[in-house]
Amino acid sequence: MLFDKPKKSFFGKLSEKISEVFLGRTVDEELLEELEEVLITSDIGMDTTMKIIGQLREDVRKQGLTTEQQVKDRIAGIVESLIDKGENHQICQEIPLVILMIGVNGGGKTTSIGKLANKFKQEGKSVLLAAADTFRAAAGEQLELWGERVGVNVISHHEGADPSAVIFDAIQSAKARHIDVLICDTAGRIQTKKNLMVELEKMNKIIGREYPEAARETLLVLDATTGKNAISQAKEFGEITDITGIVLTKLDGTAKGGIVITIADEFNMPVKFIGVGEGMDDLKEFDPAEFAGGLFNE
């Protein structure tokens, strides 16, 4: 299960809000407009909300939806159709695999790397970490702590070193040790977008040159609790580099899960993993049908 009955989760809150709108009323245009407001205040973006309500309005007319549960079920179905990106939700299973982890500082990137390394190791894969965020103080030390905790090695240089040099050394080590998965931390300085773009381009060029046989993933880590800021980050990073998937952290009982729907729909980005707690195993593979189906299971 993606969620183990979190107290007052996004799902329960959304269901409650919709129930408050109904209160015995019939399904009419005024009610649909109020539902639209509920979705927007749940961190579902304006464009995505308009798609959901537009489809719902059509289905109310064609299918004669009259009850609260019928409307809730139909919203869940529409949401699933918007967020389901098919096989793209699955992490690449080819080996060797190189994963570039990107995202702003403080979004849970390093923690997600540790949890992802643990997941791969539990699957029987060998893992190596590269501490290529050399500009943030103690970033390398933080990653090494996770390496010790999971039981995997970390390639790191001194603070301020060239991040691409770390990637180069990590690739040589991964090839020499026949490592299955190389996970690379990167700097999260979105404020200096041009510098970050150049940095990521250089990293990708080195990976392509030194490790052409490796499969590639670029995962953007976003903090669900930041709401619309996470949506802005998805847009910003999407302009900098090609993103193959999203890791959405802190999607627990306090988070507004609507950003899952917005990111998957407006940016056509598959959510691959969600963080639902602090534990080592609390990084779950994202299941669109389960997410949509859980919208109104309070």
* CB half-sphere exposure, 68, CA atoms < 13 A: 13
Higher pLDDT, 11 or 251: 251
> What integer best gives the mean pLDDT of the chain?
86
In the predicted model, is pLDDT for residue 77 greater than 90?
yes
Is residue 26 a known part of a binding site?
Answer: no
Is residue 84 a known part of a binding site?
Answer: no
In the predicted model, is pLDDT for residue 198 greater than 50?
yes
Banded pLDDT at 298 (limits 50, 70, 90): low
Is residue 275 a known part of a binding site?
Answer: no
Q: What pLDDT was estimated at residue 7?
A: 40
Is residue 277 a known part of a binding site?
Answer: no
Q: Is the pTM of this model over 0.75?
A: yes
Q: Beta partners for 273?
A: 247, 285
Region 110-124: what's the mean pLDDT? 94
Q: For the segment 201-246, what is each residue's pLDDT rounded down to a tens digit?
A: 899 999 999 999 999 999 999 988 887 788 888 888 888 888 999 9
Whole-number Cα distances in Å, 181 to 149, 154, 170, 243: 17, 12, 11, 18
Is residue 110 a known part of a binding site?
Answer: yes
Is residue 103 a known part of a binding site?
Answer: yes
Higher pLDDT, 143 or 294: 143
Question: Using an 8 Å Cβ cutoff, are 288 and 107 in contact?
Answer: no
Is residue 106 a known part of a binding site?
Answer: yes
Region 76-105: what's the mean pLDDT? 92
Is residue 250 a known part of a binding site?
Answer: yes
Is residue 292 a known part of a binding site?
Answer: no
Minimal CA–CA distance to 103: which of 205, 24, 207, 200? 200
What is the distance between the terminal CA atoms of the chain, rounded to a whole angstrom? 14
Whole-number Cα distances in Å, 118 to 95, 212, 261, 285, 292: 17, 25, 27, 13, 27
Is residue 162 a known part of a binding site?
Answer: no
Q: What pLDDT was estimated at residue 57?
A: 94
Is residue 223 a known part of a binding site?
Answer: no
Q: Hey, what are 131's tokens?
A: 């501490």
In the predicted model, is pLDDT for residue 265 greater than 70?
yes
In the predicted model, is pLDDT for residue 67 greater than 50?
yes
Is residue 188 a known part of a binding site?
Answer: yes
Backbone angles phi, psi at 269, to 5 degrees: -105, 125
Is residue 107 a known part of a binding site?
Answer: yes
**Complete domains list, the chain, with CATH:** 93-243 (3.40.50.300)
Q: Residue 183 belongs to what H/E stretch?
A: strand 181-185
